[in-house]
């Protein structure tokens, strides 16, 4: 009787494993055969659209308004699985008549180059620096959203003469410090490397991304990040961008954790001498525990809370937000570091 039970359990386990393997194979075949990965992301705003060829970050798509004599403004979107400059469009539209404004698609996202390469924080830092130096050609204000604030801070700390000020919307890096040991840090990096190696296997790399890039998943992502209802056009643009050729290469690196910047506050934020303005809101996945301390210790830092919003306050409470931004930039248009 006991042997029969063991055999029955064995067959049950084998059946479950077989079913799981068949489901995975079925999804891989479905992804490769029935999901369109050749969508085209058309120009999304009525503005000058160009490509800047960076020696370190590849082809960078950008929009600009092309005029004005005030300090230029560079807009940098956050990185997530379906990211693109469409995440910061309201800011471009609001300030395009007030000063020269540039909005870029970060490497691997939107209409920028989406090839299989080593996406790392240093690439995004260099993309920002290179674009300012060689495309804009003069010091500028930089506005960054979410986790890209770490890359903007890296660029500003290393090349302070090119960044006049920074505005950060819901930046990362203000969580309470954790007592990680050096050994644990090495283990964590090793885990990231193993995960990335698994995610990059060509057979299932794209199908895994497709699991997260369905229209319902994208809609769910944005609904969690808006206090109210996200614009349908935003979801449509994100879906289209996520189904262009090569759209999965940068996101799978992001999924592995390799694009996270460790100890951002201590290594970069605290070294900034430029004026910095932080707008933060009720974001479910971002901590601002250490922000008040930094503002108290650094006179060049200031912050305010955008109430009744989440990750995208520039879509939901734009009036007050943009008024504060405008006053901040006007105050620091002639600031030199």
Q: What percent of the chain has pLDDT over 70?
A: 90
**Cα distance between residue 12 and residue 19, in whole Å:** 10
pTM of the model: 0.92
Report the pLDDT value the prediction gives residue 23, as an integer from 0 to 100: 63
What is the biggest distance separating any 2 CA atoms in the chain, rounded to whole angstroms?
88
Residue pair 75/85 in contact by the 8 Å Cβ criterion: yes
Q: What is the mean pLDDT of residues 196-220?
A: 96
Does domain 41-337 correspond to CATH entry 1.10.20.10? no
Distances (CA, A) of 174 to 27, 76, 148, 263: 39, 19, 14, 9
Residue pair 207/31 in contact by the 8 Å Cβ criterion: yes
Mean residue pLDDT of the chain comes to 91
Q: Give per-residue pLDDT as tens, 253-311.
A: 999 999 999 999 999 999 999 999 999 998 878 999 999 999 999 999 999 999 999 99
pLDDT at 244 over 90: yes
Of 328, 285, 292, whose CA–CA distance to 310 is shortest?
285
Q: Give per-residue pLDDT as tens, 133-188.
A: 999 999 999 999 999 999 999 999 999 999 999 999 999 999 998 776 567 778 88
Report the pLDDT value the prediction gives residue 20, as an integer from 0 to 100: 56
115: tokens are 């090839």
Q: Tell me the pLDDT band of 208, cut-offs 50, 70 and 90.
A: very high
Report the pLDDT value the prediction gives residue 182, as an integer from 0 to 100: 62
**Cα distance between residue 169 and residue 299, in whole Å:** 19
Report the pLDDT value the prediction gives residue 69, as an integer from 0 to 100: 84
Q: What is the mean pLDDT of residues 32-47?
A: 89
Q: What is the mean pLDDT of residues 193-203?
A: 96
Domain ranges of the chain: 1-34, 41-337
In 10 A of CB 276, how many CB atoms?
A: 24
């Amino acid at each position: 009787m006991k042997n029969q039970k063991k055999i029955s359990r064995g067959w049950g386990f084998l059946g479950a494993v077989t079913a799981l393997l068949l489901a995975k194979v079925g999804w891989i075949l479905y992804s490769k055969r029935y999901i369109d990965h050749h969508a085209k992301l058309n120009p999304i705003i009525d503005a000058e659209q160009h490509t800047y060829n960076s020696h370190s970050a590849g082809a960078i798509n950008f929009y600009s308004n092309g005029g004005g004599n005030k300090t230029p403004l560079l807009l940098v979107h956050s990185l997530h699985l379906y990211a693109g400059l469409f995440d910061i469009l309201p800011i471009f539209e609001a300030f395009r008549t007030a000063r020269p404004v540039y909005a870029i698609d970060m490497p691997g996202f939107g209409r920028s180059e989406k090839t299989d390469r080593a996406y790392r924080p240093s690439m995004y830092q260099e993309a920002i620096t290179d674009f300012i130096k060689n495309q804009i050609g003069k010091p500028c204000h930089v506005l960054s959203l979410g986790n890209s604030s770490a890359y903007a801070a890296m660029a500003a700390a290393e090349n302070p003469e090119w960044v006049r000020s920074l505005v950060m919307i819901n930046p990362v890096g203000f969580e309470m410090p954790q007592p990680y040991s050096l050994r644990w840090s090495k283990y964590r990096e090793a885990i990231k490397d193993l995960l990335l190696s698994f995610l990059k296997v060509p057979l299932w790399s794209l199908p895994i991304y497709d699991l997260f890039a369905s229209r319902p998943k994208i809609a769910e992502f944005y609904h969690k990040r808006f206090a109210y209802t996200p614009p349908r056009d935003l979801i449509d643009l994100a879906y289209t961008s996520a189904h262009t050729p090569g759209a999965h290469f940068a996101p799978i690196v992001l999924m592995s954790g390799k694009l996270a910047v460790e100890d951002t506050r201590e290594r970069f934020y605290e070294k900034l001498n430029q004026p910095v303005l932080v707008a933060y809101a009720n974001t479910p996945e971002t901590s601002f525990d250490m922000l008040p301390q930094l503002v108290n210790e650094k006179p060049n830092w200031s912050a305010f809370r955008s109430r009744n919003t989440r990750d995208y306050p520039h879509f939901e409470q734009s009036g007050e937000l943009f008024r504060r931004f405008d006053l901040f930039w006007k105050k620091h248009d002639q600031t030199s570091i």
